[in-house]
Structure 1
Amino acid sequence: MDIRLIGLALGTFAIGIEGFVVASLLPQIAGDTGVTLVQAGYLVVTYAFAYAIGAPIVAAITGSLDRRSILAGSALVFVAGSLLAAISPNYILLMAARLLIAVVAGLYAATAQATAVAISEPHHRGRAISAIVAGTTLAVAFGAPLGAFISGLAGWRGTYLFIALVGMLASLIVWWVLPAGLRADRLSLKQRLAVIRHPGLLPALLTMLLYMTGAFAVYTYIAAIALDGVGLGRELLPVILLAFGVGAALGNFLGGQLADRFGATRTVVLSSVLSTLTLAAVSWIMALPQDIAGPVLIAHMVLWGVIAWMFAPAQASRILSIAPESAPLALSLNYSALYLGVAIGSMIGGVVIAEFGLQQLGWIGAIFPVLGLAVMRLARTTRPRDLSLA
């Protein structure tokens, strides 16, 4: 594999660790900063909103600059945000640190994907994009469990120091392996958003948003589910994340294979149906006796990871088939829809816990993939060319 792609993927690996490990850190953060678990969950909500809204704006502002400078610079700011989080004396400053991290993480991810396409041969575009996504997949599979393990030894602040170290390494490698002078045409935010008018794209983005809303209404509070819902010990949180991560790695591969063989849309439908069942099963597991609920949850996390991550490559293929001539912009909007779903799901999960209790999370989360299927069904007759079914 091109070493430049590996360097770019290291940055998405660091970003992925920060984005996915935080769910396991929320109980520690809540206890350390003197806030409730639901209030700690707002760290996920605000991060996701900042990522979804701030990243396209910053990308439009910096669009004509040298990509090596953007990537190395955004990675350095990510490091600064992680260090600020590690030393934050209170919840407000931690929130500010995560907002900073979110904006530059979104800028890095979008620029890395576009750069990977730019430095690769046209017939290797899909492979280049998958290499960047692989950084996130590895973060879910191994980085987040490692971060959770570190938090058990050195607290959540130690995890952020580890994230800063990985981000610094990524910044140095990106600066070293990428050539200077890679630039793209500068596009305004209005021009970037104009791609939404492409037939079929808006319903596809809404499907992504709804899918992620359901998933993160539950996943954001996975530590509380493991500790309070099924009675596992804190030392098993890394195992929970590792089980999900192993499933995610398998699901990412399986989703790509199924999309190529049976069509991206069919794979998205299958993943949405199965996601409905796996989310509902989380509530069922919490109702089991605790002596069996814990082992069942760990096993379930593998299955959940497979199903959840089957969706991502198939959804990206759908986006590419809908707007192939605007691939980087369309994929960037897909990321925004993803993180808006994360934000809305985290908010809904917090409300469910506060008003109805932890055990209802899975039932409520399962509603949203069904809504996504309904959107796909309603939009089907308005899409004159659904190449993803081919």
Structure 2
Amino acid sequence: MAITQAASGKAAVQKTSSLPLLSLTVGAFAIGMTEFVIMGILPNVAEDLNVSISAAGQLITMYALGVAVGAPILTMLTHRIPQKRLLAFLMGLFILGNSISVIAPNYAVLMGARMLTALTHGTFFGVGAVIASSLVAPDKRAGAVSMMMAGLTIANIIGVPLGTFIGQHMGWRASFATIALMGIATLIGILIFIPKLKQEKPVGIMQQLAALANPRLQLFLVIAVLGNAGLFAIFTYIAPLLVQVTGFAEHSVTWILVLFGCGVTLGNMIGGKLADWKLMPTILGLYLIICVILALFTFTVHNPITAVVTIFLWGAASFAVFPGMQVRIMSLAKSAPALASTTSHSAGNLGNATGAFIGGLVITHLSLTALPWVGSILVGLALLLGIFCLLIDRRHAG
């Protein structure tokens, strides 16, 4: 889905404006909030709909599966729709899904609404990343993508606590109503500020699939899975780790996660700038740093001060790698960058689920304290594959 910028003066003015990127950032914030806020209001949902906590937890699982499986399919089916119109369509589905959640009379309807909303997640970020990178000069692409992704990271710091507070004081349906209103604001921003981008002839589905079959692209998708698996093998169980091993009180975990989110946001912005400077060295360097941090976390987790410092640095490094990975994956599928970008989000969600599963096995068969070094090994595997990809790139360049 190759894109060239419109040559009109109006498009040129819009291109230099931060308002188009801001519209994408607000959309990313809303999507991040709808994905994660359910964790904070899960007991409220379970009680109101008369289901168990474990059943309500499937609302999270099915959302992740909707992103992992549905997003690439939706991207392929909508590949002929112009990018701006497609973003507006996706945000319309997002608003519809959250509006249905507000009035859902039972668990089944709420599950359906969550899966409908999940379909928009990966495709929005996939198409949004392509648009964001096309709005700036080639050497600023990763920075533009990181600005859009900042909405997702900020959602964890501000959006999820806000949505949880609203849900606990006004009812869980009010949380989804708030998200729907953010979706409406995003839709207005897309319609007003996102420029119309001139498309070349749409690439057929078979050609898009052929682009995804690129072995180098497949390797980077595996790297994304391993990197996220290393992150979520630990992050999924961060609360019991901090309470049972480090010795924090339960109420302190929330503020530590806010600090983690601050590291995530800072790392995301710095990572985008570093990737614009040196793409592959940044990706590999960050994976190496994450490996070291997680290996050290095996020891620092036993002290409250060192544990908190390590968690902040871990969050910063883990999310600093994402903008560069996104740009690299898009560049490896030039004929289908939106599908490649969407598929990278699917790979990331697969990594999230895989990491949580591996973490559970580690706790069952080893111990909570084994999580950091197991995470370090998973990220180390991603690093080794990244080095292998770099050697392949140099051989092609030679």
Q: TM-score range by the shorter chain?
A: 0.7 to 0.9
* 2:347 paired with 1:340: no
Distance 2:323 2:61 in 1: 24
User: Could you say if the C-alpha distance between residues 35 and 179 of structure 1 is closer, same or farther in structure 2, counting changes exceeding 3 Å?
Assistant: same
Unaligned runs of 5+ in 2: 1-16
* 2:175 paired with 1:159: yes
* 2:285 paired with 1:275: no
User: Could you say if the C-alpha distance between residues 327 and 365 of structure 1 is closer, same or farther in structure 2, counting changes exceeding 3 Å?
Assistant: same
Residues 145 and 323 of structure 2 are in contact (CA less than 8 Å); yes or no, is this contact kept in structure 1?
no
Shift of 1:112: 2.2
1:191 to 204, 207, 226: 207
* 2:331 paired with 1:315: no
CA RMSD of aligned residues (A): 3.7
Letter in 2 for 1:4: P
Q: Which piece of structure 1 moves more, 5-14 or 313-322? A: 313-322
Partner of 1:245: 261
Shift of 1:42: 4.6
SS in 2 for 1:306: helix
Distance 2:114 2:308 in 1: 29
Q: Which piece of structure 1 moves more, 311-320 or 347-356? A: 347-356
Unaligned runs of 5+ in 1: none
User: Could you say if the C-alpha distance between residues 151 and 364 of structure 1 is closer, same or farther in structure 2, counting changes exceeding 3 Å?
Assistant: farther
1:175 to 169, 191, 201: 191
1:303 to 302, 313, 322: 313
Q: Which piece of structure 1 moves more, 8-17 or 264-273? A: 264-273
1:211 to 206, 210, 227: 227
Distance 1:185 1:356 in 2: 54
User: Could you say if the C-alpha distance between residues 322 and 63 of structure 1 is closer, same or farther in structure 2, counting changes exceeding 3 Å?
Assistant: closer
SS in 2 for 1:63: coil
Shift of 1:206: 0.9
Residues 126 and 340 of structure 2 are in contact (CA less than 8 Å); yes or no, is this contact kept in structure 1?
no
Shift of 1:15: 0.9
Partner of 2:85: 69
User: Could you say if the C-alpha distance between residues 282 and 227 of structure 1 is closer, same or farther in structure 2, counting changes exceeding 3 Å?
Assistant: same
Partner of 1:373: 383
How many residues are treated as equivalent by the alignment? Answer: 380
Distance 1:89 1:358 in 2: 39
User: Could you say if the C-alpha distance between residues 185 and 350 of structure 1 is closer, same or farther in structure 2, counting changes exceeding 3 Å?
Assistant: farther
Q: Residues 181-209 of structure 1, C-alpha deviation per residue, up to 9 Å, x if partnerless?
A: 86664434432222234352221221111
Shift of 1:345: 2.2
1:328-367 aligned within 5 A? 328-352=338-362, 358-367=368-377
Q: Residues 155-192 of structure 1, C-alpha deviation per residue, up to 9 Å, x if partnerless?
A: 65543333222122212322233466866644344322
Distance 1:43 1:350 in 2: 19
User: Could you say if the C-alpha distance between residues 181 and 370 of structure 1 is closer, same or farther in structure 2, counting changes exceeding 3 Å?
Assistant: closer
Distance 1:67 1:374 in 2: 36
Residues 203 and 336 of structure 2 are in contact (CA less than 8 Å); yes or no, is this contact kept in structure 1?
no
Distance 1:123 1:376 in 2: 22
Q: Which piece of structure 1 moves more, 354-363 or 136-145? A: 354-363
TM-score, normalised via structure 2 length:
0.78
Shift of 1:245: 1.8
1:104 to 94, 104, 120: 120
Residues 45 and 346 of structure 1 are in contact (CA less than 8 Å); yes or no, is this contact kept in structure 2?
no
Distance 1:113 1:244 in 2: 24
Distance 2:295 2:36 in 1: 21
User: How high is the sequence identity, in percent, across the aligned residues?
Assistant: 32
Residues 125 and 341 of structure 2 are in contact (CA less than 8 Å); yes or no, is this contact kept in structure 1?
no
User: Could you say if the C-alpha distance between residues 156 and 343 of structure 1 is closer, same or farther in structure 2, counting changes exceeding 3 Å?
Assistant: farther
Partner of 2:13: none
* 2:19 paired with 1:3: yes
Distance 1:298 1:27 in 2: 28
User: Could you say if the C-alpha distance between residues 93 and 358 of structure 1 is closer, same or farther in structure 2, counting changes exceeding 3 Å?
Assistant: farther
Q: Residues 187-241 of structure 1, C-alpha deviation per residue, up to 9 Å, x if partnerless?
A: 3443222223435222122111110112122323445545666565565454233
TM-score, normalised via structure 1 length:
0.79
SS in 1 for 2:393: coil
SS in 1 for 2:288: helix
1:6-45 aligned within 5 A? 6-23=22-39, 34-35=51-52, 42-45=58-61
Partner of 2:281: 266
Partner of 2:5: none
Residues 229 and 354 of structure 2 are in contact (CA less than 8 Å); yes or no, is this contact kept in structure 1?
yes
User: Could you say if the C-alpha distance between residues 366 and 324 of structure 1 is closer, same or farther in structure 2, counting changes exceeding 3 Å?
Assistant: same
